[in-house]
A and B are shown apart, each in its own frame.
Chain A
């Protein structure tokens, strides 16, 4: 495994909305209680948030409406100015960047996809996708060629001259995605990109998104209110409630060890076989047991269930170096599938 490099780090980020909110926060010796804020007529949208966005990974921030997740992604991109805290982007404090530097960073290093697409209605698909390059002052020939290429990549070839209103929702968001990728950003923010789409299209777009990610290996911050979407896409999930992060972890960690009842409410209905890996359910290997075959410790139950079920003997579990570290048998699989406590 490659060592985890932090692309963007939030350190004790606060955001207080309301008149005089920043001053109120700065004036307090230690963090005021929620009641104190409410009494002062202020709303806390982000409370003491610290998290790392790891390079090449998808961090999903999941929360219900009003949990502050959209505010958080805007704080990370400085679309909203934090009340306090640090934002370390590629080793530099983003909050100390001047207006000019910020424009440069956003032009070349950040991309963002919006919930309601935010396409320019007066421009064609081509015009929309090429827009970021046009803003940067890149020549027309270059940006049109590049735009064509990326339009093909998101599967919209042949629609370059359509206007946004002539496209379906899914197609419009493909334009949004293409547009945010054209300047090859270092970090890619997606603010509920698929929430405005029908369930079937949403699923299709998630697959498309994963396909693109396997190709580009971007560092991604993905906002959603849909827990299923979160665990489907995420390397790590941060669950937010009332401006606080309740828990951060891999989908498996959330399912197996929810931090509190709030998280448990979401994980309860998850199909565990899709999330739980072999490592979590394997038993200690017998001294010289016979095996029907071998599986990897990182495999999800769903992927190996068929094979294990068919065989009479258990399977050996190997780590990434091929060493046998455990065994998994039919009963272990069935335990997960029917949600029985491990025997």
Chain B
């Protein structure tokens, strides 16, 4: 059955007719529905909404307020747990940022100072040198000096402290789960959909339950960050373990390794570089979460950005945002270098003890010197305020200048896009009857991937409908669809250029790498600066963020076309253009389709964040849930976003398969 459906694609005319019908339905469904008294087919009646939301909220309240294990209540257990996690968190914060204090508030007495700015900088530069040599040492030096010079030191250290605590937790838990997945295939089968869901549910959605359970504070932020950073670590662990060559496994068996010896002595060490990629991703995910986590109590740079975004203080937001970027670059490069580092060829053990480890020796010496010297010379301990440079005013003035001089032009651009693209599409999506949309999903799913896909799509969209999120979901879809379209229109030519023009590819790679290191929030700052809030700002931010995978997958897809085929094309006498259009692009198409699914994921995850600039979609629902502390709404809206992501991902995967098979 399924094969028959796959092998005979319906004629283009059929799909065209469907599209035309959709278009007319979008405009005439409402009057038509009223005329035939079939309104319920057009707008889902409010009365039919299943009250899952309030039930979840009630269950949550019961869990926290009433649930008890006899000896102690759930609330007490959670408080104990968070108290336990607070210990390392406080230690890190004290060590890096505040110093050990006795007493509270302004009467606090410093017992022990935090690591001085010089010591931290030297430690990172030395680690950079250890990992990759002088070049990286200078990058680290520059990044940390930047943080000190531009007055972001204290906040940056708070952020660094939270990452320093999150990292070992995230890595340890991720490693353990990854190993479990690798060892027991049953567990792997169970984890796979869970991970899929974890990666698609927007972070906001689980902020609310966490807030409920652990209260407002750095520990909650840390837990949210760990949950967010876990999937890539688990994924990388299983991948790295799977990539260990069979012969090494067989060797382990042949020398009589027990299962635990096999894991400890053969698999894990051989998979080390793959595992380090996971560690790098945990770091980057934590940084990406920095701003979101500050909504439930993390301090540091993220809080600064959020605070200034709320006040529309562009200058301060820009400064803190840039500091996050700088910190991200420093940590990203460092962890990547550590991941690819080879142990040195031979150990020279001839030198005397401290010189044997020159970098560690230097670090210890600097820590001691700044600690002792800091008692007399304040500058050794804290970067003097007088030396700091603030760019805050310039950013503010820049925005002012732009708005004064270019207001009309910017406004014209904005209105143009709104009038010709955004509003019509929005109207179209909201005008479509729900029954028609679900029917289309079922039909498309069936034709593309058989009844399973049809069923999945219908069920997941059915959930959105039943829980009353339909209109918000349609707005999400419209924003997401338009931005993905724009991202493709911009990104695909750039990707082709990057693959075809040698000099350009280097520039592009740096640009794409940098864009990808940026935490999602940072995209919002300049956009709000220029266009204020609203759908158009969201559109730009989402497009900017989603253009990265388009460029990357296009370039990569083109790059991996076999050179033999290109040579064959050349020898037949194809022109450059023919080689591109007749050989490279068709062969790269499946890869680009996979890129499309990534792009949609990126767009959706950014979309939720743009709720901050006032969209009216599912993201806004999640954000509302957060501010109203409504776990039911948060979960439902979050799941709705995840379901949209899952359905589009499956559809794109099937479409990619079609393209590989030759249509």
Contacts and interface: CB of A to CB of B under 8 A. Distances in A.
Are chains A and B native binding partners rather than an unrelated pairing?
A: yes
Interface in A44-65: none
Nearest to A114: B247
A202 interface: no
B250 A106 contact: no
Contacts of A117: 247
B255 A132 contact: yes
Interface in B260-292: 261, 265-266, 269-270, 272
Contact of A104 (B254, B256, B342, B343): B256
A1 to B, nearest CB: 32
Contacts of A189: 254
B345 A120 contact: no
Contacts of B343: 122, 163
B322 interface: no
Contacts of A107: 255-256
Nearest to A131: B255
A135 B247 contact: no
Given A114-B247, A135-B261, A163 B342 contact: yes
A106 B269 contact: no
Nearest to A102: B256
A148 interface: no
B261 A122 contact: no
Nearest to A79: B250
A280 interface: no
Contact of A165 (B251, B342, B347): B342
Contact of B245 (A112, A118, A132, A163): A118
Contacts of A106: 253-256
B257 interface: yes
A112 B257 contact: no
A122 B270 contact: yes
Nearest to A128: B251
A120 B266 CA distance: 7
Contacts, number: 67
Given A118-B250, A165-B342, A103 B270 contact: no
Given A122-B343, A163-B343, A165-B342, A136 B256 contact: yes
B276 to A, nearest CB: 12
B261 to A, nearest CB: 6
Contacts of A161: 346-347
A162 interface: yes
Interface string B325-366: 000000000000000001101110000000000000000000
Nearest to B343: A163
B49 interface: no
Nearest to A182: B255
Contacts of B261: 135
Contacts of A121: 269-270
Contacts of A103: 256-258
Given A135-B265, A161-B347, A163-B345, A118 B248 contact: yes
Contacts of A335: none
Contacts of A165: 342
A166 interface: yes
Nearest to A116: B247
A121 B244 CA distance: 11
A196 to B, nearest CB: 11
Contacts of B265: 131, 134-135
A136 B257 CA distance: 8
Contacts of B258: 103
B642 to A, nearest CB: 34
A162 B272 CA distance: 19
B: interface residue count bin: 20 to 34
Contacts of A329: none
Interface in A93-123: 103-108, 110-112, 114-118, 120-123
Interface string A47-87: 00000000000000000000000000010010100000000
Contacts of A79: 250, 253-254
A26 B219 CA distance: 59
Contacts of A162: 345-346
Interface string B118-162: 000000000000000000000000000000000000000000000
The residue among A105, A111, A112, A135 with the most chain B CB atoms within 10 A of its own CB is A135
A268 B251 CA distance: 37
Contact of A135 (B255, B272, B345): B255
A135 B250 contact: no
Contacts of B253: 79, 106
A114 B251 contact: yes
A112 B251 contact: yes
B498 to A, nearest CB: 32
B270 A112 contact: no
B248 A120 contact: yes
B256 A118 contact: no
A187 to B, nearest CB: 11
B589 to A, nearest CB: 32
B279 to A, nearest CB: 16
Contacts of B272: 122
Contact of B269 (A112, A120, A183): A120
Interface in A156-210: 161-163, 165-166, 183, 189
A79 B249 CA distance: 10
A22 B158 CA distance: 61
A118 B345 contact: no
B102 to A, nearest CB: 46
Contacts of A115: 247
Given A120-B269, A162-B346, A112 B254 contact: yes
A163 B341 CA distance: 13
Nearest to A137: B261
A162 to B, nearest CB: 7
The residue among A74, A118, A189 with the most chain B CB atoms within 10 A of its own CB is A118
A118 to B, nearest CB: 4
B325 to A, nearest CB: 34
Nearest to A183: B255
Nearest to B248: A118
Nearest to B268: A122
A131 B255 CA distance: 8
A203 to B, nearest CB: 24
Nearest to B256: A107
A105 B256 CA distance: 8
A189 B247 CA distance: 13
Given A163-B345, A166-B345, A118 B255 contact: no
The residue among A74, A120, A123 with the most chain B CB atoms within 10 A of its own CB is A120
Contacts of A74: 250
Contacts of A114: 247, 250-251
Contacts of A166: 345
A121 B266 CA distance: 10
14 contacts: A77-B254, A105-B256, A106-B255, A114-B251, A120-B269, A121-B269, A121-B270, A122-B272, A135-B255, A161-B346, A162-B346, A163-B345, A165-B342, A183-B255
Given A105-B256, A135-B265, 7 more contacts: A79-B253, A116-B247, A118-B247, A118-B250, A135-B257, A165-B342, A166-B345
The 6 closest A-B pairs by CB, nearest first: A107-B256, A118-B247, A106-B256, A132-B255, A118-B251, A112-B254
